[in-house]
Chain A
């Protein structure tokens, strides 16, 4: 009955970090049947050659790239396979990213990126909700292509509303996010009719949601990217140019949050908090109507659909 060393409860899930990894992670989830971390071995999780062929076929349909049928034997992880498709990240620069394709029984949840502009950490929110939930992420512009990031909450909110409306022209809407993402979601909610959920999720409840992050300007992107690669915060083949872009996005989001002037939003605010300080502690009182507190992300299940 004694658990052996490999019986630890968590084998170390690592969430996807780039648009290609996010896309592959979703394909794998749909093919294998459950969510898979970027370092986990496709075949050791029960993926078979038919499943691998489905992934190869999906890559061809999405990117027009014909990978060899045995590519998964060589690259049995999401992280590994993504290196073969590295140059396709720029093609997936659209703000809207489908993180989890639910079964269509629930309205989609839209989660806005935190300060680093990335949405990979939200995959865990999707998993905590359950596979029946459809979850979209809204990622920052300028991380994987040389576009200028947006620097004001209203501009971000308007851009993301366009993206949301492209897949869901009418309400009800279900929005949320961590830190900066919560502020942007608040601004989006204030501009929308029929918002049923505005969820402010405590950073502490989502592993790695603020990583990679910055504490100040970057003197040496090459040194930083080495450090990030060593910690698994970026793919093993990430370049210093990404650090430079990520810094600009981070800076833009910090500027946006600093200058944020919340509009009134009278709907209830659903705060998902841990034991620490409330994630809306610094918010102006005028921006907040009723507040409902929840102990875990899974509590949102009841509020969606």
Chain B
């Protein structure tokens, strides 16, 4: 059995018309609730509107300003149902960046139609390519926008929706899910699409606030949630949650960035190891690994084993490394399911037999568990000594006053660079830089102790939780603090 998105939504609405599909919040944060019957009607209206607005002779894409609202979620659903490629856009994207993104889209699509915006502007005719279900911006941590395209159209197949990987994270058909990350990011977007096809009740949190997230999980008896390590850390440190708030939760899935050990253990303590899942896999869809909390406890630091994914670690000349040795991590999935190709001619590096990499380095243990190394471009070189920023950040995060931290290289006349850190302190904290340095000094070798501390209200993280290190480069606002 295989259904189109529109058929699936219609079928759910017919079977369970009064079941809640979406819970969102308006501008005044008043709660709004939409049933599956109402959602199906809105989607049908949206599909009709798109058909009227778009020229069927031109391959089009639809841009949705994807705040976490009922309106944006409905617009995404309508575009998927209309089988028009949909691109969820960060509503805060400045015009210059929009121009770049729309330019990229215009290379592939004849019309770029912004929902609620002016009529589409036709670009030069483009030959029809393979159909596209949706488009996602990636490269948030490098600052160079890339767009990956998911081949379409989407189909609902009870055996394959959601993917086997997600099925293994405690997902159940018809569950209540909270979406915290923004819909314009890959993981929140894809789990929303799965939720739509799998009859979830989706609670959309418009912006992250740790206490509120805990409150929504409790009040809506949420069963499944995806969070980033930053969300997890802030909830632990700022919301001080109790176990009762998470009674209904079957699974927490975290993705996007390395989770420091204290945060991971804190959540395993709260939920138990069987309810904490970590997923490693790039937006590019070349493969994924999954680690459940008990696997992580047995092998701290692992990001898990490949799921429908073969792992291969290769050296710089492309030869397999000996078992347990480090190299570049390549992955291969048997199907091209979930595999996306870049719109702007940037292709992931691949071997002739179909193993591909996004450039991460790591090693695989004899049981097939993958351990990642810090990305080379983040390493800080202090007078020839290599400093792993993750290690510095983990040391800082172990301080009770520190909510978030990122370490970067700061130029130094004699040493080339030294460690600088940007630190978010707990609001009521009264802590000196020397206290933090001494705290690091008890955990790290001297050359790893930060020399520059900048206190900030928040770090420039992409909404997916990755630190945008390029925003912290020396010379940038706050990047190279005074003495």
Interface residue ranges, A against B (CB under 8 Å): 1, 3, 6-7, 9-11, 13, 29-30, 32-37, 40-41, 43-48, 50, 101-103, 127, 131-132
Contact = CB atoms under 8 A, between A and B. Distances in A.
Interface in B402-450: 414-415, 429-435, 437-442, 446-447, 449-450
For the complex of A and B, the 5 pairs showing the least CB-CB separation, nearest first, are A46-B449, A34-B433, A44-B441, A103-B482, A45-B437
Contact of A10 (B432, B447, B481): B432
B336 interface: no
Interface stretch (B63-71, B72-80, B393-401): B393-401
Given A7-B398, A32-B451, A44-B441, A132 B432 contact: no
B446 A35 contact: no
B401 A1 contact: no
B359 interface: no
A237 to B, nearest CB: 24
Contacts of B429: 9
Contact of B442 (A37, A44, A101): A44
B246 interface: no
B232 to A, nearest CB: 11
A1 B447 CA distance: 26
B413 to A, nearest CB: 10
Contact of A45 (B414, B431, B434, B452): B434
Contacts of B266: 1
A9 B400 contact: yes
Given A1-B262, A29-B483, A103-B483, A43 B431 contact: no
A35 B438 CA distance: 12
Contact of B434 (A13, A48, A50, A132): A13
12 contacts: A3-B400, A6-B442, A7-B439, A10-B431, A10-B432, A34-B434, A34-B483, A35-B432, A44-B441, A44-B446, A131-B481, A131-B482
Interface string B445-483: 011011111000000000000000000000000000111
B146 interface: no
Given A1-B266, A7-B439, A46-B440, 18 more contacts: A1-B236, A1-B262, A3-B400, A7-B400, A9-B431, A13-B432, A32-B451, A33-B483, A34-B432, A35-B432, A41-B438, A43-B446, A44-B442, A44-B446, A45-B437, A46-B446, A48-B415, A131-B481
B386 to A, nearest CB: 16
A98 to B, nearest CB: 13
A7 B446 contact: no
A141 to B, nearest CB: 30
A44 B414 contact: no
Nearest to B442: A6
From A45, A46, A50, A103, residue with most partner B Cβ within 10 Å: A46
Contact of B265 (A1, A10, A102, A132): A1
Contact of B430 (A10, A47, A48): A10
Interface in B347-402: 398-401
Interface of B: 236, 262, 265-266, 269, 398-401, 414-415, 429-435, 437-442, 446-447, 449-453, 481-483
Nearest to A49: B446
Nearest to B240: A1
Contacts of A6: 439, 442
A2 B383 CA distance: 35
Contacts of B447: 48
B451 A50 contact: no
B430 A9 contact: yes
A6 B395 CA distance: 13
Contacts of B265: 1
Contacts of B450: 46
A11 B434 contact: yes
Given A29-B483, A33-B451, A40-B434, A46 B441 contact: yes
Contacts of B440: 46
A108 to B, nearest CB: 15
A144 B463 CA distance: 58
Contacts of A44: 437-438, 441-442, 446
A35 B437 CA distance: 11
B434 A7 contact: no
Contacts of B435: 9-11, 13
A34 B446 contact: no
Contacts of A40: 434, 438
A1 B446 CA distance: 24
B400 A45 contact: no
Contacts of A50: 414-415
Contacts of A47: 446
A41 B440 CA distance: 13
A89 B308 CA distance: 73
A30 B442 contact: no
A101 B415 CA distance: 24
A184 B245 CA distance: 58
B441 A45 contact: yes
Contacts of B481: 131
Nearest to B451: A33
Contacts of A41: 438, 441
Contacts of B414: 50
Nearest to B412: A50
B366 to A, nearest CB: 32
Given A45-B438, A46-B441, A33 B430 contact: no
B432 A127 contact: yes
Nearest to A53: B414
A34 B453 contact: yes
A101 B483 CA distance: 9
A9 B426 CA distance: 11
Contacts of A29: 483
Contacts of A36: 434
A71 B433 CA distance: 25
Contact of B483 (A3, A10, A45, A131): A131
Contacts of A10: 430-432, 435
A3 B414 CA distance: 36
Determine which residue in B265, B431, B446, B452 has the highest number of CB atoms from chain A within 10 A of its CB, and name it: B446
B400 A37 contact: no
Contacts of A43: 441, 446
A101 B452 CA distance: 16
Nearest to B262: A1
Nearest to B436: A34
